[in-house]
Amino acid sequence: MLNAPADQITVIYPGVEPRFRPVDDGELLQRVRAKYDLPQRYILSLGTVQPRKNYAGLMAALAGMSVPDVALVIVGGRGWLSDGIYRAAERLGLSARVCFLGFVDDADLPAIYSLAELFALPSLYEGFGIPLLEAMACGTPVVAADNSSLPEVVGQAGVLVDARDTGTLAEAMRQLLAHPEQRRELAQRGLARACQFSWQHAAEQLLATYRHVGAS
**Residues of the chain above pLDDT 70, percent:** 100
Instruction: List the chain domain ranges.
Output: 26-215
pLDDT at 2 over 80: no
Tens digits of per-residue pLDDT, 31-66? 999 999 999 999 999 999 999 999 999 999 999 998
Q: What is the mean pLDDT of residues 84-108?
A: 97
Mean of all residue pLDDT scores within the chain: 95
CB atoms within 10 A of CB 14: 14
Q: Which of 71, 60, 69, 66 is nearest to 97 (CA)?
A: 71
Q: What is the mean pLDDT of residues 168-188?
A: 98
pLDDT of res. 1: 58
CB 122 within 8 Å of CB 145: yes
CATH class of 26-215: alpha beta
Query: Which residue spans within 67-168 are E strands per DSSP?
Result: 71-75, 98-102, 118-121, 142-145, 159-161
Angle at 40 between CA 61 and CA 22, to 5 degrees: 95
Report if pTM > 0.85.
yes
CB 133 within 8 Å of CB 155: no
Q: What is the mean pLDDT of residues 169-179?
A: 98
At 46, which helix (H) or strand (E)?
strand 42-46
Give the model's confidence band at 8: pLDDT under 50 very low, under 70 low, under 90 confident, else very high: confident
Distances (CA, A) of 13 to 92, 126, 197: 38, 14, 7
